Amino acid sequence: MANKKIGSQTIMLENAPSIIGVSSIVGPKEGQGPLKDYFDLIINDMYYQEKSWEKAERKMMKEAVEMAIKNSKIPYNAIEYFIAGDLLNQIISAGYTARDLGLPFLGIYGACSTMAEGLALGAMIVDGGFADNVVIATSSHFCTAERQYRFPLEFGTQRPPTSQTTVTGAGAAVISSKVDNPRITYITVGKVIDMGEKNPNDMGTAMAPAAVDTIVKHFEDTKRSQDYYDLVVTGDLASIGKDIAEDLLKEKGLNLSNRYSDCGLMIFSPYQDVHAGGSGCGCAAVVFCGYIYKEMKKGRFNKVLLVTTGALMSTTSTQQGESIPCIAHAVSIENL
């Protein structure tokens, strides 16, 4: 009997698993942004002393996981599952990291929604009594994403103003049955929304409807007021997508403007050359693990709704002229 499900898409976690340790590693550009003081490590070399950008991304994820476990102050052998994903084909950053870590591994793919998906699955495993400690992680890298999804950097291709800058970064979090703050209380699993957008250089427009659909459903299912959260933050809609999302939310009767932000806007300064803003699996991961989590520990934020968005496309679908299906998952994180 599904006694933990409320409404049509939301899960209420009876035992509210805790997030007991996090870590964030970012690249040089992210380390120059407004959140620079919140990150655990800023690398000064896009290769991170490796022979390829892909190996650099893998190294960031591995070190982020190890750092999160260390920050959780529990033994390494107390971690029972590793849940991770990334943007590269066949989630190779996560797969090779899992090989090196030697932990039981569940690989996931939600594009840029992977952070909330990982938090959701990890929390369900712990709340369900299947494990006491789970570590989740995700990563992205500007150079690896450009090479896979768009054009090699050597081409020097001019990007349009609607394009976003993939965040170079990795974030990891340890979810535990140990009682501590902050805790994961509700999860709203999103549906795939496709409004027919086909422009791979305008992710914000494509993903905004999915974010709105999940946010609206979360408030409907939980029956919480629009003023309940201190912060509602989407993953990486950036400037264009955020404006669209705010307009669509108002049409649905939700005015969150005074408490709504977006990780793709928070991580970079307007003076940095990032076009519409940040994106990538690592975007929401490092903003949450770096900034939001630490501010929750200080008590500045006590109730946060993290809504990460993902464009479920591939180079194959883009080349075949397909539209872009999108997803958003919401995780309610609270100090209780």
**pLDDT for the residue numbered 276:** 79
> What is the CATH architecture of 5-176?
3-Layer(aba) Sandwich (3.40)
Amino acid at 218: H
- Supply φ then ψ for residue 84, to 5 degrees: -155, 160
Residues of the chain above pLDDT 70, percent: 97
Amino acid at 46: M
Contact 193, 327 (CB under 8 A): yes
Q: Which two tokens stand for residue 50?
A: 């490796």
pLDDT at 197 over 70: yes
Confidence band of 306 (pLDDT split at 50, 70, 90): very high
Q: Which two tokens stand for residue 212?
A: 């709105």
**pLDDT for the residue numbered 142:** 85
Least confident of 4-13, 197-206, 216-225: 197-206
Distance (Å, whole) CA 230 – CA 96: 37
**pLDDT for the residue numbered 151:** 63
CB atoms under 10 Å from CB of 14, counted, come to 10
Q: Which has more confidence, 277 or 107? A: 107
pLDDT at 150 over 80: no
| Count of alpha carbons within 13 angstroms of residue 176, beta-carbon side | 20
Give tens-digit pLDDT for 246-276: 999 999 999 998 999 999 999 999 888 888 7
Reported pTM: 0.96
pLDDT at 84 over 80: yes
Least confident of 61-70, 250-259, 325-334: 250-259
Helix (H, G, I), strand (E, B) or coil at 213: helix
**pLDDT for the residue numbered 165:** 86
In which residue ranges of the chain is CATH 3.40.47.40 found?
Answer: 5-176, 183-334
**pLDDT for the residue numbered 155:** 61
For the domain 183-334, what is the CATH code? Answer: 3.40.47.40
Confidence band of 120 (pLDDT split at 50, 70, 90): very high
Q: How wide is the angle at C-alpha 62 spanned by C-alphas 32 and 189, nearest 5°? A: 85
pLDDT at 126 over 90: yes
Pinpoint the alpha helices (H) of 223-256: 238-251
pLDDT at 153 over 70: no
Q: What is the mean pLDDT of residues 76-82?
A: 98
Confidence band of 38 (pLDDT split at 50, 70, 90): very high
**pLDDT for the residue numbered 145:** 80
pLDDT at 156 over 80: no
Pinpoint the alpha helices (H) of 252-290: 263-266, 281-286
Cis amide leading into 17 (omega within 30): no
pLDDT at 147 over 90: no
Contact 53, 46 (CB under 8 A): yes
**pLDDT for the residue numbered 5:** 95
pLDDT at 6 over 70: yes
Confidence band of 19 (pLDDT split at 50, 70, 90): very high
pLDDT at 154 over 70: no
